Structure 1
Amino acid sequence: MAQRCAHPVVPVALLVFGLVAILLLTVPTRDVREAPGFMYGIVLDAGSSHTALYIYKWPADKQNGTGVVTQHGECQAKGGGISSYVGQQGAAGQSLQACLDQAVIDIPKERHHVTPVYLGATAGMRLLNISSPEQSNQILQEVGQKIQSYPFNYRGAVILSGQEEGAYGWVTVNYLLENFIKYGFVGRWLSPNRPTVGALDLGGASTQITFVTREEVEDNRDLMKLRLYGQEYSLYTHSFLCYGQDQMLKRLLAHIVKSQGYSESIDHPCYPEGHSRVLQLHNIFNSPCTAKYKPSSYNPQASLTVQGSGNYEECLVYVNEIFSFDNCRFSKCSFDRVFQPNITGSFMAFSAFFYLHSFLQKITGLTVSSPSQLEEATKRVCRMGFSEMLLHAPDQKPYLQDYCASTVFVKVLVLQGYGFNETSFRHITFSKKAGDASVGWALGYMLSLSNLLPAERVELRKALTPGAWGGLIFLFVLLLTAVLIFIFLRARDGKKKGVSESTI
């Protein structure tokens, strides 16, 4: 009988390859970083006229100590600013509900509990805090309780100082312009070393100017230092409370009422000719910004008739009188005895600056890119009748009466107050958004706060080096091939054996 053919080399090879493979598995490994995913943050911008919710996200491993933040979502709350809900129990918190509900949807559920949420109130609440600290605290408590009812990591509701509001707006502008950091063509984040851009912000109750200067800042209250992406910045920043658009209009009206002897009917040179309105006195004198114009005694419910005359020159006189350009105790001042160094570099103007500039361009056809064009556009607006303005901007009907006063105010503020001239004015860019992000203080706030947020711990896994993996794969391929050959040979031997036995 024929003997079965043995192949001792095959099992020996299998044994050797198996031992080598096991030894490879014991090769020292190195740590490989898993993709960090994203962290999220929510900022509620509680302004004087309305509240906006912004959702930001950034890589969990961060960049140079500051998160590379992008805007993930935005929601505009209906109704007025939270300061307008004084005396309405729970209304301030309720006004945030729709936007908070949207945030629950927009942020992944597994991230809810680690998503910080901040509420920053600006000039509207600063004014309320001056007139009634108790009501101000009550409003902040109400909105805080509402936010805490959601599954986020509530970090507090605070009233930002004017200095903080200005500085964070500056951070937003320069971040969006990639002056701090940008993604290079080499596939990594780079510091472009670009000059920074100044920020001009016009809100409802205050206006801010912020820029880097090499001059000495003679008033330390206007000096702020920030550290972002490994760089330190020294800023000049000042916020003028009561110089926001809404409060300015109220101050201007109060000044005119006082100048004309508190009569029951007044002539308003900044209103379009032929346009009139009736309002109650408490709507004028219910703000700390109009306190100095308030009569010693008056009936808050008394009516006042305001008749427009559309006179640019007289309007300019009244607007100039709400500024003070005298009595500077520093080497130089902007206005109201506030120190300001000489403006340098380029600026971005946003918020109400953008909307007013856009309106002037639309209604006059001018580019408004120089002081002379700003003056010409302002004159044209102030000399238009209400019906003519309505033809050009029918969607702006509720606001048309105020555009002359607002644009004259911006002209005085920017040219006489801040000191922009024929050359420097051309370096102002008026913007609402940059990329997909809204320009304002909220993004800068999130960027700065991300320095304080702990970076998420990056998960590590054990892994072989590429060389070890290659060797292991090669040996396993050889092992598999050897096993297949061994099985084939055994099958062939078995077949031969069967043939041999059948022959016998």
Structure 2
Amino acid sequence: MRLSQKERVFVALLGIAAASGLTMLLLILVKATNVFLPADTKFGIVFDAGSSHTSLFVYQWPANKEKDTGVVSQTLACQIEGPGISSYASDPTQAGESLKSCLEEALALIPQTQHQETPTFLGATAGMRLLSQKNSSQARDILAAVSLTLSKSPVDFWGAEILAGQDEDSLNFTQNLTVEGTGNPRDCVAALRNLFNSSSCKDQDCAFNGVYQPPVYGQFYAFSNFYYTFHFLNLTSRQPLNIVNDTVWKFCQTPWKLVEASYPGQERWLRDYCASGLYILVLLLEGYKFSEETWPNIQFQKQAGGMDIGWTLGYMLNLTGMIPAEAPTQWRAQSYSIWMAGVVFAVLTLVAVLGAVAVQLFWTQD
């Protein structure tokens, strides 16, 4: 049977639609490849409750992790106003209240959908350890107060505890001590040497109490109080050892009234910098045996790789090992050229179908 002109056009359009649609389907199914979408980001919060102040750190890491450890980066460091939580012994509730401002800043940074799965931990150090020895009841009340505040917040609260200290210890709190600063660095150094007990060292390669100390080699980072003390004294630019030593001794010998007048607004820490600076020098030079030649290998820094260096970072790295990794989401995807070809064939299929429908309509009307 011979087809009419309209019938031939109709059949041709249907053929084009079928071929284009089949080609598009083959491109989608055959040329598609598996791709992995970027892993979700996990967050964690750690409070460092020190003796003089409390800091909050927010860390983040990809959910899929590497070798079962999160690749952690620091997202936020927030210094909480006021003294350390151990100072609130007479009003423990205020210890919990003091955490709220930085906590709110952290929650504003973390997506709200992830608040309930954000592990949060508070670790208290020297100040709370001393308070616990002096009055364990007050220490418990403070921990209870901060725990109440954090447990009421929309986070996954892992607890608040006093971190165990190494080689500190036990003090007689019934004894009153009066410390008088003489401004004599020579006497201070002599007292530090007695504290370190290096006299028992019979071998050249030992540090304190006869303990073996290998020769220092390579690059070193000095952080925390090492950095803060030397930063105040403007000694963090790898100055020669003789300059460092002269600067510390000169500061210690400066009359106290002149020191106060020279550094207004810093009274809280001024009294510590002399003893701390001499302590650092004795520790590094006579304890770890740094010399004039190896001294430039020490970098006094607050951060490394954009992150504050301290126990909170190590804690978060360890914590990520307890959190199961999430497998990356897998999708089927096309290359851009294949995708464009698919779009062309999709349009061609649509045009052919619409054309066939139009021919059919005209055919029916005739």
For Structure 1 versus Structure 2, the TM-score category normalised by the shorter chain is 0.7 to 0.9
Write 1 or 2 for the structure with the bigger share of strand: 1
Matches within 5 A, 1:286-301: 288-289=170-171, 291=172
User: 1:397: Cα distance to partner?
Assistant: 3.5
Alpha-carbon deviations, 1:451-479, whole Å to 9, x = none? 22112343344556889756644432332
CA contact under 8 A between 1:319 and 1:405: conserved in structure 2?
no
Matches within 5 A, 1:273-292: 288-289=170-171, 291=172
Which stretch of structure 1 is more off in the superposition, 386-395 or 460-469? 460-469
**Given the superposition, is the C-alpha separation of residues 391 and 131 from structure 1 closer, same or farther in structure 2, using an over 3 Å criterion?**
closer
C-alpha distance in 1 between matches for 2:63 and 2:179 = 59
C-alpha distance in 1 between matches for 2:237 and 2:352 = 81
RMSD of aligned Cα (Å): 3.8
**Given the superposition, is the C-alpha separation of residues 472 and 401 from structure 1 closer, same or farther in structure 2, using an over 3 Å criterion?**
closer
Q: Which residue of 2 aligns with 1:394?
A: 264
**Given the superposition, is the C-alpha separation of residues 19 and 487 from structure 1 closer, same or farther in structure 2, using an over 3 Å criterion?**
closer
- Counterpart residue identity of residue 371, structure 1: L
- For residue 313 of structure 2, the aligned residue among 407, 423, 443 is 443
Matches within 5 A, 1:71-470: 71-133=74-136, 135-162=138-165, 241=168, 288-289=170-171, 291=172, 306=180, 309-327=182-200, 333-336=206-209, 340-361=213-234, 369-390=239-260, 392-434=262-304, 436-463=306-333
Alpha-carbon deviations, 1:253-305, whole Å to 9, x = none? xxxxxxxxxxxxxxxxxxxxxxxxxxxxxxxxxxx45x4xx8xx86x5x9x69
1:156 partner SS: strand
**Given the superposition, is the C-alpha separation of residues 338 and 150 from structure 1 closer, same or farther in structure 2, using an over 3 Å criterion?**
farther
Write 1 or 2 for the structure with the bigger share of helix: 2
**Given the superposition, is the C-alpha separation of residues 122 and 15 from structure 1 closer, same or farther in structure 2, using an over 3 Å criterion?**
same
User: 1:93: Cα distance to partner?
Assistant: 2.2
Q: Which has the higher contact order (CA 8 A, sep 6+)?
A: 2
C-alpha distance in 2 between matches for 1:113 and 1:425 = 47
Gaps of 5+ in 1: 163-238, 243-287, 498-504
C-alpha distance in 2 between matches for 1:143 and 1:330 = 49
**Given the superposition, is the C-alpha separation of residues 342 and 146 from structure 1 closer, same or farther in structure 2, using an over 3 Å criterion?**
farther
2:323 partner SS: coil
User: 1:158: Cα distance to partner?
Assistant: 3.2
**Given the superposition, is the C-alpha separation of residues 491 and 349 from structure 1 closer, same or farther in structure 2, using an over 3 Å criterion?**
same
User: 1:321: Cα distance to partner?
Assistant: 3.4
CA contact under 8 A between 2:6 and 2:359: conserved in structure 1?
no
C-alpha distance in 1 between matches for 2:340 and 2:129 = 66
**Given the superposition, is the C-alpha separation of residues 5 and 452 from structure 1 closer, same or farther in structure 2, using an over 3 Å criterion?**
closer
Q: Which residue of 2 aligns with 1:247?
A: none
Check if 1:477 corresponds to 2:336.
Answer: no
Q: Which residue of 2 aligns with 1:224?
A: none
C-alpha distance in 2 between matches for 1:35 and 1:14 = 40
User: 1:54: Cα distance to partner?
Assistant: 0.6
CA contact under 8 A between 2:222 and 2:299: conserved in structure 1?
yes
CA contact under 8 A between 2:10 and 2:360: conserved in structure 1?
no
C-alpha distance in 1 between matches for 2:53 and 2:263 = 23
CA contact under 8 A between 1:77 and 1:99: conserved in structure 2?
yes
C-alpha distance in 2 between matches for 1:71 and 1:333 = 37
User: 1:74: Cα distance to partner?
Assistant: 2.0
CA contact under 8 A between 2:122 and 2:159: conserved in structure 1?
yes
- For residue 67 of structure 1, the aligned residue among 44, 67, 70 is 70
C-alpha distance in 1 between matches for 2:216 and 2:160 = 34
- Counterpart residue identity of residue 47, structure 2: L
C-alpha distance in 2 between matches for 1:124 and 1:391 = 29
User: 1:357: Cα distance to partner?
Assistant: 1.1
1:361 partner SS: coil
Gaps of 5+ in 2: none
- Counterpart residue identity of residue 98, structure 1: S
User: 1:24: Cα distance to partner?
Assistant: 3.8
C-alpha distance in 2 between matches for 1:448 and 1:13 = 64
Q: How many residues are aligned here?
A: 361
Q: Which residue of 2 aligns with 1:55?
A: 58
TM-score (norm 1): 0.61
Alpha-carbon deviations, 1:124-143, whole Å to 9, x = none? 33444445555544433332
